């Protein structure tokens, strides 16, 4: 029962984080939302009893990739241009 609630909360969080990545015009906010998405995905892998994949996703997806995006955004304009 608790596992089902955890799965549901994580999956709802994944959908919300994914929607926020596309919704934000501020690129730094979108990169942070992507980091949250990756962290929630690693949490889902852990719940599904794949701790090796969860550690890799947390380290590379949530940590390293988000940091690289932030460094890249620092060299560009922070907000997306309006059409």
Task: Find the largest Cα–Cα distance for the chain.
Answer: 47
pTM: 0.87
d(Cα 75, Cα 70) in Å, to the nearest integer? 9
pLDDT at residue 80 above 90? no
Q: Supply the pLDDT for residue 52.
A: 95
* Cβ contact 42:62 at 8 Å: yes
Q: Encode burial over 50-66: b for 16+ CB neighbours within 10 A, e otherwise.
A: eeeebeebbeebbeebb
The three-class DSSP label of residue 26 is strand
% the chain with pLDDT above 70: 95
């Amino acid at each position: 029962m608790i596992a089902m609630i955890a799965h549901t909360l994580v999956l709802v969080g994944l959908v919300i984080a994914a929607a926020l990545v596309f919704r934000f015009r501020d690129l730094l906010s979108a990169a942070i939302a992507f980091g949250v998405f990756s962290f929630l995905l690693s949490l889902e892998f852990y719940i599904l009893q794949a701790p090796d994949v969860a550690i890799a996703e947390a380290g590379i997806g949530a940590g390293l990739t988000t940091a690289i995006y932030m460094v890249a955004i620092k060299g560009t304009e922070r907000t997306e241009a309006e059409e």
